Amino acid sequence: MDELALIDRLRLIATDPAARGLDDDVAVIGDLVMTHDMIAEGVHFLEIDPPASVGWKLVAVNLSDLAAKGAEPVAALLGFTIGSDSEWDEKFIEGVAAACEAYSLPLIGGDTISLPPDAPKVFGLTAVGRGDSSIPSRSGGKAGDALWVVGLLGDAAAGLAMLKDDSEAEGPLVEAYRRPVPQLATGRLLAPYATAMMDISDGLLLDASRLCAASGCGAEIRLDQLPLSRAFVAERGAGRRARLGAATGGDDYALLAALPADFDPLGLSLPPGTILARIGELVGGKGLKLFDAAGEVPLPERLGYEHRAQNI
Amino acid sequence: MDELALIDRLRLIATDPAARGLDDDVAVIGDLVMTHDMIAEGVHFLEIDPPASVGWKLVAVNLSDLAAKGAEPVAALLGFTIGSDSEWDEKFIEGVAAACEAYSLPLIGGDTISLPPDAPKVFGLTAVGRGDSSIPSRSGGKAGDALWVVGLLGDAAAGLAMLKDDSEAEGPLVEAYRRPVPQLATGRLLAPYATAMMDISDGLLLDASRLCAASGCGAEIRLDQLPLSRAFVAERGAGRRARLGAATGGDDYALLAALPADFDPLGLSLPPGTILARIGELVGGKGLKLFDAAGEVPLPERLGYEHRAQNI
Kindly report, residue by residue over B263-295, the tens digit of the pLDDT.
Answer: 999 999 999 999 999 999 999 999 999 999 999
Residues in chain B closer than 8 A to A41 (CB atoms): 116
Least CB–CB distance from A6: residue in B18, B75, B112: B112
Task: Report which residue type is found at B187.
Answer: G
Q: Which residue, among B61, B222, B241, B216, has the nearest Cα to B158 in the 3D structure?
A: B241
Q: How would residue A312 be classed by pLDDT, with cut points 50, 70 and 90?
A: low
Residue A46: list chain B partners with CB under 8 A: none
Closest to B43 (Cβ–Cβ): which among A32, A44, A115? A115
B122 and A126: CB-CB below 8 Å?
no
Residue A31 is assigned to a ligand binding site:
no
Cβ atoms of A158 and A245 within 8 Å: the answer is: yes
CB A11 within 8 A of CB A21: yes
| Contacts with A81 from chain B: Cβ below 8 Å | 38, 40, 122
A276/chain B closest Cα distance in angstroms: 28
Residue A18 and residue B108: Cβ atoms within 8 Å? yes
- Taking 50 as the threshold, does the pLDDT of residue B161 lie above it? yes
**Amino acid occupying residue B248:** T
High-pLDDT (> 70) share of chain A, %: 96
Question: What is the pLDDT at residue B15?
Answer: 78
Distance from CA of B7 to the nearest CA of A (A): 8
What are the domain boundaries of chain A? 3-130, 146-297
Position A139 pLDDT exceeds 70: yes
Q: Amino acid letter at B307?
A: H
Give residue A308's pLDDT.
47
- Give the pLDDT band (50/70/90) at residue B133: confident
Mean pLDDT of chain A: 93
* Residue B246: per-residue pLDDT: 98
- Rounded mean pLDDT of chain B? 93
pLDDT at residue A56 above 50?
yes
In chain B, residues with a C-beta closer than 8 Å to the C-beta of A113 are 38-40, 43-44, 308-310
Q: How far apart are the C-alpha atoms of B280 and B273, rounded to whole Å? A: 22
In the predicted structure, residue A21 carries a pLDDT above the cut 80: no
Contact yes or no for B32 and A32 at CB 8 A? yes
CA dist A37 to B113, B158, B249, B276, Å?
Answer: 9, 35, 32, 39
**B111 assigned binding-site residue:** yes
Per-residue pLDDT reduced to its tens digit, A251-277: 999 999 999 999 999 999 999 999 999
Candidates A109, A119, A309; nearest CB to B111: A309
Closest residue in B to A114 (Cα–Cα): B308
Which residues are CB-neighbours of B261 under 8 A, at least 6 positions away? B144, B145, B146, B281
CATH architecture designation of domain A3-130: 2-Layer Sandwich (3.30)
Residue A35: closest CA among A198, A189, A177, A185:
A198
ipTM score: 0.89
Q: Do A87 and B35 touch (CB under 8 A)?
A: no
Cβ of B13 within 8 Å of Cβ of A107? The answer is: yes
Cβ-defined contact of A77 to B19 (cutoff 8 Å): no
Give B134's pLDDT tier (boundaries 50, 70, 90). confident
Q: Which of B4, B8, B38 to mutate to test the interface with A (most CBs of A within 10 A)?
A: B38
Please give the residue of chain A at the shortest CA–CA distance from B113: A309
* A13–B114 C-beta distance less than 8 A: no
- Please tell me whether residue B157 adopts helix, strand or coil conformation: helix
Once rounded to an integer, what is the mean pLDDT over residues B89-113?
93
Where do the H-state alpha helices sit in chain B?
A: 3-12, 51-67, 86-102, 155-165, 172-178, 184-190, 204-215, 230-236, 240-248
Least CB-CB distance to A79: which of B36, B80, B120?
B36
Residue A53 CA to residue A253 CA, distance in Å, equals 15
Distance CA A289, CA B115 (A): 33
Q: Do A109 and B22 touch (CB under 8 A)?
A: yes
Contact call for A115 and B122, based on CB within 8 A: yes
Report pLDDT for A307: 53
The Cα of A178 is separated from the nearest Cα of chain B by a number of Å equal to 19
Chain A residues with CB-CB distance to B106 below 8 A: 13-16, 18-19
Least confident of A147-151, B13-17, B223-227, B298-302: B13-17
Q: For chains A and B, count residue pairs whose Cβ atoms are closer than 8 Å.
A: 257
The string of pLDDT tens digits covering residues B179-214 is 999 999 999 999 999 999 999 999 999 999 999 999
Region A46-73 average pLDDT: 96
Phi-psi region of A175 (alpha: psi -120 to 50; beta: other; left: phi over 0): alpha
Give pLDDT tens digits for A76-95.
999 999 888 889 999 999 99
Is position A25 annotated in a ligand binding site? yes
First CA to last CA across chain B, in angstroms? Answer: 16
Q: Is the pLDDT of residue B100 over 50?
A: yes
- The third-level CATH classification (topology) of the domain covering A146-297 is Phosphoribosyl-aminoimidazole Synthetase; Chain A, domain 2 (3.90.650)
**Eight-class DSSP state of B268:** S
Question: How far apart are the C-alpha atoms of A42 and B117, rounded to whole Å?
Answer: 10
Which chain A residues touch B1 with a CB distance below 8 Å?
Answer: 86-87, 89-90
Query: Closest by alpha carbon to B1, among A158, A29, A85, A279?
Result: A85
Please report, rounded to a whole number, the percentage of residues in chain B having pLDDT higher than 90. Answer: 81
CA distance A51 to chain B (A): 14
Q: What are phi and psi of A207, to 5 degrees?
A: -70, -35
H/E stretch holding A234 reads helix A230-236
- Which range (A132-141, A148-157, B233-242) has the least confidence? A132-141
Q: Is the pLDDT of residue A116 over 70?
A: yes
How many CB atoms within 10 Å of residue A120? 20
Kindly identify which residue of chain B lies nearest to residue A10, measuring between CA atoms.
Answer: B93
Confidence bin at B2 (pLDDT 50/70/90): low
Q: Which of A32, A111, A312 sits opposite B110 (nearest CB)?
A: A312
**Percentage with pLDDT > 90 across chain A:** 81
